[in-house]
Amino acid sequence: MSAFSAIDQGVEIDANDFTPQQEPQPTWCPGCGDFAVLNALKKAMAEVGRSPDEVLLATGIGCSGKLNSYFESYGFHTLHGRSLPVARAAKLANPGIEVVAAGGDGDGYGIGGNHFTHTARENHDMVYIVFNNEVFGLTKGQSSPTSPKGHKSKTQPSGVAKDPVRPLTLGLAAGASFIARTAAVNPNQAKEILVEAIEHDGFAHIDFLTQCPTWNKEARAYVPYTDIQDSDDFEHDVSDRREAAEIMWETEEKLYEGEVLTGRYYRDADRPSYGEEKRSLGEIPEEPLAERYFDDEYEWERSADLLDRYK
Ligand SMILES: Cc1ncc(C[n+]2csc(CCOP(=O)(O)OP(=O)(O)O)c2C)c(N)n1
Ligand code: SF4
Ligand SMILES: [Mg+2]
Protein backbone atom coordinates (compact mmCIF):
# COMPACT_ATOMS: atom_id res chain seq x y z
CA MET A 1 0.00 0.00 0.00
CA SER A 2 1.19 3.48 -0.74
CA ALA A 3 3.10 5.57 1.76
CA PHE A 4 0.56 8.28 1.02
CA SER A 5 -2.38 6.12 1.95
CA ALA A 6 -3.96 5.43 5.32
CA ILE A 7 -6.18 2.63 3.97
CA ASP A 8 -6.98 -0.19 6.37
CA GLN A 9 -5.97 1.79 9.42
CA GLY A 10 -9.43 1.31 10.92
CA VAL A 11 -10.37 5.01 10.98
CA GLU A 12 -14.11 5.79 11.20
CA ILE A 13 -15.07 8.06 8.31
CA ASP A 14 -18.07 10.35 8.18
CA ALA A 15 -19.38 12.32 5.18
CA ASN A 16 -18.65 15.54 7.10
CA ASP A 17 -14.95 14.65 7.12
CA PHE A 18 -15.00 15.71 3.46
CA THR A 19 -16.14 19.25 4.30
CA PRO A 20 -13.13 21.57 4.23
CA GLN A 21 -12.45 23.95 7.09
CA GLN A 22 -11.66 26.73 4.67
CA GLU A 23 -14.36 27.74 2.16
CA PRO A 24 -16.90 25.16 3.37
CA GLN A 25 -19.86 27.04 1.84
CA PRO A 26 -20.10 26.62 -1.96
CA THR A 27 -20.72 29.76 -4.01
CA TRP A 28 -22.98 27.92 -6.48
CA CYS A 29 -26.36 29.58 -7.15
CA PRO A 30 -29.34 28.53 -5.03
CA GLY A 31 -30.98 25.46 -6.58
CA CYS A 32 -27.90 24.47 -8.57
CA GLY A 33 -27.62 20.72 -9.20
CA ASP A 34 -23.91 20.82 -8.36
CA PHE A 35 -24.75 20.67 -4.64
CA ALA A 36 -26.17 17.20 -5.18
CA VAL A 37 -22.90 15.93 -6.69
CA LEU A 38 -20.92 17.28 -3.74
CA ASN A 39 -23.24 15.73 -1.16
CA ALA A 40 -23.43 12.38 -2.95
CA LEU A 41 -19.64 12.22 -3.33
CA LYS A 42 -19.05 12.95 0.36
CA LYS A 43 -21.52 10.23 1.39
CA ALA A 44 -20.17 7.70 -1.11
CA MET A 45 -16.55 8.18 0.01
CA ALA A 46 -17.58 7.75 3.63
CA GLU A 47 -19.53 4.61 2.74
CA VAL A 48 -16.57 2.96 1.03
CA GLY A 49 -14.40 3.96 3.99
CA ARG A 50 -11.97 6.24 2.24
CA SER A 51 -10.55 9.15 4.22
CA PRO A 52 -9.75 12.57 2.70
CA ASP A 53 -6.02 11.81 2.57
CA GLU A 54 -6.71 8.74 0.41
CA VAL A 55 -8.53 10.66 -2.32
CA LEU A 56 -7.39 12.86 -5.19
CA LEU A 57 -10.05 14.96 -6.89
CA ALA A 58 -8.97 16.49 -10.21
CA THR A 59 -11.40 18.96 -11.74
CA GLY A 60 -11.72 20.92 -14.95
CA ILE A 61 -12.88 24.53 -15.36
CA GLY A 62 -16.49 25.60 -14.92
CA CYS A 63 -18.99 25.86 -12.07
CA SER A 64 -18.48 22.08 -11.83
CA GLY A 65 -14.72 22.58 -11.55
CA LYS A 66 -15.18 24.31 -8.21
CA LEU A 67 -16.06 20.93 -6.70
CA ASN A 68 -12.62 20.40 -5.23
CA SER A 69 -12.71 23.73 -3.39
CA TYR A 70 -15.65 22.38 -1.40
CA PHE A 71 -14.43 18.79 -0.98
CA GLU A 72 -11.69 17.93 1.52
CA SER A 73 -9.09 15.73 -0.18
CA TYR A 74 -6.00 16.13 -2.30
CA GLY A 75 -7.14 18.35 -5.14
CA PHE A 76 -5.96 19.59 -8.53
CA HIS A 77 -8.02 22.29 -10.25
CA THR A 78 -6.62 21.76 -13.73
CA LEU A 79 -7.21 23.50 -17.08
CA HIS A 80 -10.44 23.43 -19.11
CA GLY A 81 -10.98 19.83 -20.26
CA ARG A 82 -7.76 18.57 -18.68
CA SER A 83 -8.84 16.85 -15.48
CA LEU A 84 -8.41 13.39 -17.02
CA PRO A 85 -4.71 13.48 -17.99
CA VAL A 86 -3.85 14.75 -14.51
CA ALA A 87 -6.01 12.07 -12.92
CA ARG A 88 -4.43 9.35 -15.07
CA ALA A 89 -0.90 10.34 -14.16
CA ALA A 90 -1.75 10.47 -10.46
CA LYS A 91 -3.35 7.02 -10.50
CA LEU A 92 -0.43 5.46 -12.38
CA ALA A 93 2.07 7.01 -9.98
CA ASN A 94 0.13 6.08 -6.84
CA PRO A 95 -2.33 3.23 -7.42
CA GLY A 96 -3.25 3.20 -3.71
CA ILE A 97 -5.04 6.51 -3.96
CA GLU A 98 -8.72 6.80 -4.96
CA VAL A 99 -8.84 9.06 -8.00
CA VAL A 100 -11.92 11.02 -9.03
CA ALA A 101 -11.99 13.36 -12.02
CA ALA A 102 -14.87 15.78 -12.52
CA GLY A 103 -15.99 18.56 -14.84
CA GLY A 104 -18.85 19.89 -16.91
CA ASP A 105 -20.43 18.81 -20.18
CA GLY A 106 -18.49 21.52 -22.02
CA ASP A 107 -15.32 20.52 -20.20
CA GLY A 108 -15.60 16.76 -20.70
CA TYR A 109 -17.56 16.27 -23.91
CA GLY A 110 -16.32 19.39 -25.71
CA ILE A 111 -12.82 20.73 -25.14
CA GLY A 112 -11.76 17.60 -23.26
CA GLY A 113 -13.53 15.14 -25.54
CA ASN A 114 -10.29 13.63 -26.79
CA HIS A 115 -9.12 12.91 -23.24
CA PHE A 116 -12.50 11.40 -22.40
CA THR A 117 -12.37 9.07 -25.39
CA HIS A 118 -8.87 7.81 -24.74
CA THR A 119 -9.09 7.56 -20.97
CA ALA A 120 -12.17 5.38 -21.48
CA ARG A 121 -10.42 3.35 -24.19
CA GLU A 122 -7.44 2.69 -21.93
CA ASN A 123 -9.69 1.86 -18.96
CA HIS A 124 -7.82 3.94 -16.40
CA ASP A 125 -8.99 3.07 -12.90
CA MET A 126 -10.90 6.14 -11.70
CA VAL A 127 -14.34 7.65 -11.38
CA TYR A 128 -15.20 10.34 -13.92
CA ILE A 129 -18.18 12.53 -13.05
CA VAL A 130 -19.56 14.77 -15.78
CA PHE A 131 -21.90 17.46 -14.48
CA ASN A 132 -24.31 17.57 -17.41
CA ASN A 133 -26.37 20.78 -17.21
CA GLU A 134 -26.57 21.18 -21.01
CA VAL A 135 -24.95 24.65 -20.93
CA PHE A 136 -21.68 26.44 -20.20
CA GLY A 137 -22.74 27.57 -16.73
CA LEU A 138 -19.70 29.51 -15.53
CA THR A 139 -19.41 31.65 -18.64
CA LYS A 140 -23.10 32.58 -18.50
CA GLY A 141 -25.20 30.09 -20.35
CA GLN A 142 -23.79 29.54 -23.83
CA SER A 143 -24.90 26.36 -25.63
CA SER A 144 -22.78 23.30 -24.90
CA PRO A 145 -22.22 19.91 -26.59
CA THR A 146 -25.25 18.49 -24.75
CA SER A 147 -27.63 21.40 -25.39
CA PRO A 148 -30.61 20.08 -27.33
CA LYS A 149 -30.96 20.91 -31.01
CA GLY A 150 -32.76 24.26 -31.27
CA HIS A 151 -31.54 25.44 -27.83
CA LYS A 152 -31.39 29.25 -27.86
CA SER A 153 -28.62 31.10 -26.04
CA LYS A 154 -26.44 34.20 -26.46
CA THR A 155 -24.09 32.29 -28.74
CA GLN A 156 -26.91 30.56 -30.63
CA PRO A 157 -29.72 33.16 -30.75
CA SER A 158 -31.46 31.33 -33.60
CA GLY A 159 -31.11 27.96 -31.89
CA VAL A 160 -28.42 25.26 -32.00
CA ALA A 161 -28.21 23.67 -35.45
CA LYS A 162 -26.31 20.58 -34.24
CA ASP A 163 -27.49 17.34 -32.68
CA PRO A 164 -26.20 16.93 -29.12
CA VAL A 165 -23.44 14.56 -28.08
CA ARG A 166 -24.70 11.19 -26.79
CA PRO A 167 -22.60 10.82 -23.64
CA LEU A 168 -23.55 7.25 -22.70
CA THR A 169 -23.20 5.87 -26.21
CA LEU A 170 -19.93 7.74 -26.61
CA GLY A 171 -18.56 6.28 -23.37
CA LEU A 172 -19.52 2.77 -24.44
CA ALA A 173 -18.04 3.08 -27.92
CA ALA A 174 -14.84 4.53 -26.48
CA GLY A 175 -14.42 1.60 -24.06
CA ALA A 176 -15.50 2.72 -20.57
CA SER A 177 -15.99 -0.36 -18.40
CA PHE A 178 -18.67 1.19 -16.15
CA ILE A 179 -21.31 3.62 -17.39
CA ALA A 180 -24.20 5.14 -15.48
CA ARG A 181 -26.46 8.17 -15.53
CA THR A 182 -27.91 9.74 -12.43
CA ALA A 183 -29.54 13.06 -11.61
CA ALA A 184 -29.31 15.73 -8.93
CA VAL A 185 -33.00 15.19 -8.23
CA ASN A 186 -32.27 11.61 -7.15
CA PRO A 187 -29.66 11.89 -4.33
CA ASN A 188 -30.00 8.31 -3.05
CA GLN A 189 -29.47 6.77 -6.47
CA ALA A 190 -26.57 9.19 -7.07
CA LYS A 191 -24.81 8.09 -3.88
CA GLU A 192 -25.36 4.39 -4.63
CA ILE A 193 -24.06 4.73 -8.18
CA LEU A 194 -21.02 6.62 -6.92
CA VAL A 195 -20.27 3.85 -4.41
CA GLU A 196 -20.42 1.26 -7.22
CA ALA A 197 -18.25 3.45 -9.44
CA ILE A 198 -15.61 3.90 -6.72
CA GLU A 199 -15.54 0.17 -6.08
CA HIS A 200 -15.26 -0.64 -9.79
CA ASP A 201 -11.69 -1.39 -10.96
CA GLY A 202 -11.52 0.51 -14.24
CA PHE A 203 -12.87 3.65 -15.87
CA ALA A 204 -16.26 4.48 -14.35
CA HIS A 205 -18.11 7.18 -16.28
CA ILE A 206 -21.08 8.86 -14.63
CA ASP A 207 -23.18 11.29 -16.64
CA PHE A 208 -24.71 13.33 -13.79
CA LEU A 209 -27.70 15.47 -14.80
CA THR A 210 -27.31 18.72 -12.86
CA GLN A 211 -29.88 21.43 -13.39
CA CYS A 212 -28.63 25.03 -13.89
CA PRO A 213 -31.62 27.15 -12.80
CA THR A 214 -29.73 30.35 -13.61
CA TRP A 215 -29.04 29.74 -17.31
CA ASN A 216 -31.06 26.69 -18.31
CA LYS A 217 -34.64 26.88 -17.11
CA GLU A 218 -35.44 23.84 -19.27
CA ALA A 219 -33.59 21.69 -16.77
CA ARG A 220 -36.80 21.36 -14.78
CA ALA A 221 -37.58 18.71 -17.37
CA TYR A 222 -35.21 16.42 -15.40
CA VAL A 223 -38.17 15.79 -13.06
CA PRO A 224 -39.69 13.22 -13.03
CA TYR A 225 -37.11 10.60 -13.87
CA THR A 226 -37.25 6.82 -14.16
CA ASP A 227 -34.65 4.50 -12.66
CA ILE A 228 -34.25 1.75 -15.26
CA GLN A 229 -33.27 -0.77 -12.56
CA ASP A 230 -36.48 -0.07 -10.61
CA SER A 231 -38.86 0.05 -13.56
CA ASP A 232 -40.74 -2.96 -15.00
CA ASP A 233 -40.63 -1.27 -18.42
CA PHE A 234 -36.89 -1.81 -18.75
CA GLU A 235 -34.90 -4.94 -18.36
CA HIS A 236 -31.36 -5.44 -19.51
CA ASP A 237 -28.20 -7.26 -18.56
CA VAL A 238 -25.63 -4.60 -17.60
CA SER A 239 -22.78 -6.87 -18.66
CA ASP A 240 -24.15 -7.16 -22.21
CA ARG A 241 -22.74 -4.46 -24.51
CA ARG A 242 -25.45 -4.80 -27.15
CA GLU A 243 -28.27 -4.55 -24.67
CA ALA A 244 -26.55 -1.62 -22.97
CA ALA A 245 -26.12 0.13 -26.34
CA GLU A 246 -29.82 -0.25 -27.15
CA ILE A 247 -31.07 1.11 -23.87
CA MET A 248 -28.53 3.94 -23.93
CA TRP A 249 -29.74 4.97 -27.37
CA GLU A 250 -33.34 4.98 -26.15
CA THR A 251 -32.34 6.96 -23.05
CA GLU A 252 -30.61 9.59 -25.14
CA GLU A 253 -33.57 9.89 -27.51
CA LYS A 254 -36.01 10.29 -24.65
CA LEU A 255 -34.03 12.88 -22.70
CA TYR A 256 -34.82 15.60 -25.20
CA GLU A 257 -38.43 14.45 -25.47
CA GLY A 258 -38.87 15.17 -21.75
CA GLU A 259 -38.54 11.66 -20.35
CA VAL A 260 -35.51 11.18 -18.12
CA LEU A 261 -34.09 7.67 -17.71
CA THR A 262 -31.30 7.04 -15.22
CA GLY A 263 -29.47 4.05 -13.75
CA ARG A 264 -26.61 1.65 -14.40
CA TYR A 265 -26.15 0.91 -18.09
CA TYR A 266 -22.96 -1.07 -18.49
CA ARG A 267 -20.40 -2.87 -16.39
CA ASP A 268 -17.50 -5.05 -17.46
CA ALA A 269 -16.06 -6.36 -14.20
CA ASP A 270 -13.39 -8.53 -15.83
CA ARG A 271 -11.43 -6.11 -17.93
CA PRO A 272 -8.07 -5.17 -16.36
CA SER A 273 -7.32 -1.49 -15.89
CA TYR A 274 -4.50 0.24 -17.77
CA GLY A 275 -2.36 0.28 -14.62
CA GLU A 276 -2.81 -3.47 -14.14
CA GLU A 277 -1.92 -4.12 -17.78
CA LYS A 278 1.23 -2.00 -17.54
CA ARG A 279 2.30 -3.65 -14.29
CA SER A 280 1.77 -7.13 -15.69
CA LEU A 281 3.96 -6.16 -18.67
CA GLY A 282 6.62 -4.93 -16.26
CA GLU A 283 6.52 -1.43 -17.74
CA ILE A 284 5.79 0.23 -14.44
CA PRO A 285 6.90 -1.04 -11.03
CA GLU A 286 4.59 -2.73 -8.56
CA GLU A 287 5.27 -0.14 -5.88
CA PRO A 288 3.96 3.41 -6.33
CA LEU A 289 6.35 5.48 -8.43
CA ALA A 290 5.85 8.38 -6.07
CA GLU A 291 7.34 6.40 -3.18
CA ARG A 292 10.67 5.97 -4.95
CA TYR A 293 11.56 9.53 -4.07
CA PHE A 294 11.26 8.64 -0.40
CA ASP A 295 13.23 5.42 -0.74
CA ASP A 296 17.00 5.64 -0.94
CA GLU A 297 19.62 7.48 -2.88
CA TYR A 298 18.85 5.49 -6.05
CA GLU A 299 16.12 7.66 -7.52
CA TRP A 300 17.78 10.91 -6.58
CA GLU A 301 20.94 9.78 -8.30
CA ARG A 302 18.96 8.77 -11.35
CA SER A 303 17.19 12.12 -11.47
CA ALA A 304 20.56 13.84 -11.28
CA ASP A 305 21.78 11.66 -14.18
CA LEU A 306 18.82 12.74 -16.27
CA LEU A 307 19.45 16.38 -15.49
CA ASP A 308 23.10 15.98 -16.48
CA ARG A 309 22.11 14.38 -19.76
CA TYR A 310 20.02 17.37 -20.82
CA LYS A 311 22.42 20.09 -19.66
C1 LIG B 1 -9.10 26.80 -22.97
C2 LIG B 1 -10.28 27.51 -22.39
N3 LIG B 1 -11.29 27.88 -23.21
C4 LIG B 1 -12.36 28.52 -22.71
C5 LIG B 1 -12.42 28.81 -21.38
C6 LIG B 1 -13.61 29.56 -20.84
N7 LIG B 1 -14.51 28.71 -20.11
C8 LIG B 1 -14.43 28.57 -18.77
S9 LIG B 1 -15.60 27.56 -18.13
C10 LIG B 1 -16.23 27.31 -19.70
C11 LIG B 1 -17.44 26.45 -19.93
C12 LIG B 1 -17.80 25.59 -18.79
O13 LIG B 1 -18.93 24.82 -19.14
P14 LIG B 1 -19.06 23.38 -18.57
O15 LIG B 1 -17.82 22.60 -18.80
O16 LIG B 1 -20.31 22.78 -19.09
O17 LIG B 1 -19.13 23.62 -16.99
P18 LIG B 1 -20.28 24.28 -16.09
O19 LIG B 1 -19.84 25.68 -15.80
O20 LIG B 1 -21.56 24.23 -16.86
O21 LIG B 1 -20.29 23.43 -14.87
C22 LIG B 1 -15.53 27.99 -20.67
C23 LIG B 1 -15.87 27.98 -22.10
C24 LIG B 1 -11.34 28.41 -20.56
N25 LIG B 1 -11.35 28.63 -19.25
N26 LIG B 1 -10.29 27.78 -21.10
S1 SF4 C 1 -24.53 29.28 -13.15
FE2 SF4 C 1 -25.75 27.39 -13.21
S3 SF4 C 1 -24.23 25.72 -13.02
FE4 SF4 C 1 -23.25 27.63 -12.33
S5 SF4 C 1 -23.55 27.70 -10.09
FE6 SF4 C 1 -25.23 28.85 -11.06
S7 SF4 C 1 -26.90 27.36 -11.30
FE8 SF4 C 1 -25.00 26.20 -10.95
MG1 LIG D 1 -22.18 22.67 -18.22
Q: What whole-number distance in Å separates Cα of residue 194 and Cα of residue 222?
A: 19
User: How high is the pLDDT of residue 1?
Assistant: 35
Contacts of 238 (CB under 8 A, 6+ apart): 244, 264, 265, 266, 267
- Spatial strand order of the sheet with 55-59 comes to 74-77, 55-59, 98-104, 126-132, 203-209, 178-183, 260-267, 225-227
Per-residue pLDDT averaged across 135-156, rounded? 96
Q: Is the CB of 215 under 6 A from ligand 1?
A: no
> Is residue 152 in a domain?
yes
Ligand 1 atom 7: residue of nearest CA: 139
Residue 213 Cα to ligand 3 middle (Å): 12
The answer to whether the beta carbons of residues 160 and 149 sit under 8 Å apart is: yes
Where do runs of H (alpha helix) occur along the chain? 34-48, 83-93, 105, 113-122, 167-174, 187-199, 241-255, 274-280, 297-309
> Is residue 290 in a domain?
no
Residue 140 Cα to ligand 2 middle (Å): 8
**What mean pLDDT value characterizes the chain?**
91
Dihedral over alpha carbons 23, 28, 33, 37 (to 10 degrees): -20
> Is residue 304 in a domain?
no
Read off the pLDDT band of 258 (50, 70, 90): confident
CATH number, position 235: 3.40.50.970
Determine the structural domain holding residue 142 and report its residue range: 15-285
> Is residue 89 in a domain?
yes
The pocket around ligand 2, CB under 6 angstroms, is made up of 28-29, 32, 34, 63, 133, 137-138, 212-215
Beta bridge partners of 59: 77, 102
The answer to whether the beta carbons of residues 24 and 71 sit under 8 Å apart is: no
> Is residue 308 in a domain?
no
Residue 47 Cα to ligand 1 middle (Å): 31
User: How high is the pLDDT of residue 284?
Assistant: 86
> Is residue 295 in a domain?
no
- Kindly report, residue by residue over 272-303, the tens digit of the pLDDT: 999 999 999 988 888 887 676 655 555 555 55
User: How high is the pLDDT of residue 23?
Assistant: 82
The answer on pLDDT for 162 being more than 50 is yes
- Kindly report, residue by residue over 173-194, the tens digit of the pLDDT: 999 999 999 999 999 999 999 9
Q: What whole-number distance in Å separates Cα of residue 102 and Cα of residue 34?
A: 11
> Is residue 251 in a domain?
yes
Read off the pLDDT band of 11 (50, 70, 90): confident
> Is residue 7 in a domain?
no
Instruction: Give me the number of domains the chain comprises.
Output: 1
Rounded to two decimals, the pTM is 0.93
